[in-house]
Structure 1
Amino acid sequence: MTSFLSRPGFAVLVLVVGCAPAKEGTAPLMAHVEPVATPETVWLPAGHFEMGSPAGEPGRDVDEGPRTEAAFERFQMDVTPVTVRAFAARLEQVRAKDPQARWWTDAQTPQGWLGRCNLDSTRTDHPVNCVDWRAARAYCELVGGALPTEAEWEYAARASAPTAYWWGESFAGEHVVGSVSCASRGCTGGTAPVVHAGPRCNGWGLCDMAGNVWQWTATRYQERLGEDAPFEPSGEPAKPVHRGGSWLNHVPPLFRSAHRGLPYPQHGLTGVGFRCVRRP
């Protein structure tokens, strides 16, 4: 299928100054053009897929079934996880939109969390991490979007690939930012800058769908898929699912497209970020 990429740049806002016709012998009034920054997104094609994993997939968890067919109209998704720079630019707006939203800066990284929180650091082109679900939701709404549902996220991650990983059936470290190569949890040390092309980007142009940071979804966790799994956003889920794996993880199956994750308070949020979708 073909995808359509919206490159970072500027939309054009045209403001027409004055509405009276120009007098004879005078130059007509010109439109005043203001640049408006636009996010980098990709249009995902309409289609359907089987959510979850087959019974024989290595590393499969029981909550990845039964496989369930889901269908979508075309929608947009951020090419990368939301960066520190983008989130920091809207901190006060996020705070005003949801006073209960929480996040932690580099200096506020709690003792016992592996790695560092990226806000208020020089890592401005890294994914923002250490943001809770409410902060992620508020940010997405501020930019005219929403957090993806769990089904939307898996559809986007697979990019029409039915295999265990979006690139094939076997783990390959070049496609992820993780700790598999050094075989110890968190040994990578932290997040990496986002990318916009290369082996970390899937067939639909979405980058870091596996690794770097887990990504919040709008879906509450349930122990099985099938008819009980909601495909619509779950309001304010007590246990929101996150997807994708992160720099902290050293076990390859956690980077599979069907793997479903839950955040654990004792592990902290240094490995959790998010991206947004925009539905027509």
Structure 2
Amino acid sequence: MSLAALALAAYVSLPAGHIASVLARDSDREPASVAAFALRERPVTRAEFAAFLQEHPEWQAERAPQAFASAGYLQAEGAPDAPQTAVSWFAAQAYCESEGARLPTWLEWEYAAAADATRPDARSDPRWLATILGWYARPANTPLPAVGGAPNVYGVRDLHGLVWEWVDDFNSLLVNSDSRSAEDPDRLKFCGAGALDLQDRQNYAVLMRIALLASLSAADSTASLGFRCAKEISR
């Protein structure tokens, strides 16, 4: 099955807006601006990624260079309609490019993920936060369900409760404006101290995503880490 044989991936448009990001420092409390963009309705599935591998065999597990795909790459099993996991940032980005897209930025992902079924920002609702945290109670060895959960107010599905997701700027999420550069291998030793400046600390589910992403390199992959793509909206 080729990519052309699969149904075209659905993207939904999100309007421009602002978000009080959990990454805002104590010295920077102004909401961040987010330009209008389009986001994949659902995470990329195993069937979709398998079709991509047929057309781009250089990304198959036995061919991808170790610099772009470390141990564990594509070593997760699941049903065809389950989200593709165990994929590196490099491979996820390559897939998105095959759809004329890219990985979303953290702010874009956070902006979309703040919504529930009726509100663009439900993060102040304790019941909504508790529902998201319920995901952590699921045993790690439980097979991943199919994509296609209930949509949020924008029509985006599965932002919570299914898999972690790559973002384009994952490696700069916990970088402080001090003497350490983004390339400094010691910066992860200080991520706990950096997190003290984060806003909305009760949003544990989102902060856990930041901690995971900030601990990875672009060649890494895990059995619970998937991705979706984003597109620019022509003005």
Tell me, yes or no, whether TM beats 0.5. Answer: yes
- Which position in structure 2 is the counterpart of 1:65? 25
Match of 1:272 among 221, 225, 232: 225
Map 1:1-280 → 2, pairs under 5 A: 37-52=7-22, 65-66=25-26, 67-96=29-58, 99-100=64-65, 101-102=68-69, 104-105=73-74, 109=75, 117-118=76-77, 121=78, 123-159=79-115, 160-161=120-121, 163-164=123-124, 168-170=125-127, 171-173=129-131, 178-180=135-137, 186=140, 189-196=142-149, 198=150, 201-219=151-169, 220-223=171-174, 254-256=204-206, 260-263=210-213, 269-280=222-233
User: Given residue 128 of structure 1, which amino acid in structure 2 is its aligned partner?
Assistant: Q
Write the distance in 2 (CA, Å) between the matches of 1:46 and 1:87: 30
Judge conservation of contact 2:12–2:39 (CA < 8 Å) in 1.
Answer: yes
Write the distance in 2 (CA, Å) between the matches of 1:76 and 1:257: 24
Write the distance in 1 (CA, Å) between the matches of 2:134 and 2:49: 21
5+ residue gaps, structure 2: 178-182, 188-201
- Once the two structures are TM-superposed, the CA of residue 268 in structure 1 deviates from its matched residue by 6.0
Higher normalized contact order (CA 8 Å, seq sep 6+, divided by chain length): 2
Structure 1 SS opposite 2:39: strand
Larger radius of gyration: 1
User: Given residue 105 of structure 2, which amino acid in structure 1 is its aligned partner?
Assistant: T
Write the distance in 2 (CA, Å) between the matches of 1:36 and 1:213: 22
- TM-score (norm. length: structure 1): 0.57
- Once the two structures are TM-superposed, the CA of residue 83 in structure 1 deviates from its matched residue by 0.6
5+ residue gaps, structure 1: 1-33, 53-62, 110-116, 229-235, 240-251
- Once the two structures are TM-superposed, the CA of residue 49 in structure 1 deviates from its matched residue by 1.8
In structure 2, relative to structure 1, the CA distance for the partners of 1:255 and 1:202 (3 Å cut) is: farther
Structure 2 SS opposite 1:148: coil
Judge conservation of contact 1:177–1:212 (CA < 8 Å) in 2.
Answer: no
Where does structure 1 differ by over 6 angstroms across 4 or more consecutive aligned residues? none
Write the distance in 1 (CA, Å) between the matches of 2:13 and 2:133: 22
- Once the two structures are TM-superposed, the CA of residue 190 in structure 1 deviates from its matched residue by 2.9
Judge conservation of contact 1:64–1:259 (CA < 8 Å) in 2.
Answer: no
In structure 2, relative to structure 1, the CA distance for the partners of 1:268 and 1:217 (3 Å cut) is: closer
- Once the two structures are TM-superposed, the CA of residue 258 in structure 1 deviates from its matched residue by 8.6
The RMSD of aligned alpha carbons is 3.7
Write the distance in 2 (CA, Å) between the matches of 1:95 and 1:79: 26
- Once the two structures are TM-superposed, the CA of residue 203 in structure 1 deviates from its matched residue by 1.7
Judge conservation of contact 1:40–1:78 (CA < 8 Å) in 2.
Answer: yes
- Once the two structures are TM-superposed, the CA of residue 94 in structure 1 deviates from its matched residue by 4.2
In structure 2, relative to structure 1, the CA distance for the partners of 1:177 and 1:41 (3 Å cut) is: farther
User: Given residue 161 of structure 2, which amino acid in structure 1 is its aligned partner?
Assistant: G
Judge conservation of contact 1:51–1:68 (CA < 8 Å) in 2.
Answer: no
User: Given residue 75 of structure 1, which amino acid in structure 2 is its aligned partner?
Assistant: F
- Once the two structures are TM-superposed, the CA of residue 221 in structure 1 deviates from its matched residue by 2.8
Write the distance in 1 (CA, Å) between the matches of 2:104 and 2:18: 16
User: Given residue 113 of structure 2, which amino acid in structure 1 is its aligned partner?
Assistant: A
Per-residue CA shift, 1:85-123, capped at 9, x if unaligned? 111100144444794343644xxx4xxxxxxx13xx5x0
Structure 1 SS opposite 2:31: strand
Judge conservation of contact 2:43–2:158 (CA < 8 Å) in 1.
Answer: yes
> Quick check: which one's strand share is greater?
1
Q: Which moved more, 1:256-265 or 1:125-134?
A: 256-265
Write the distance in 2 (CA, Å) between the matches of 1:104 and 1:156: 27
In structure 2, relative to structure 1, the CA distance for the partners of 1:71 and 1:274 (3 Å cut) is: same
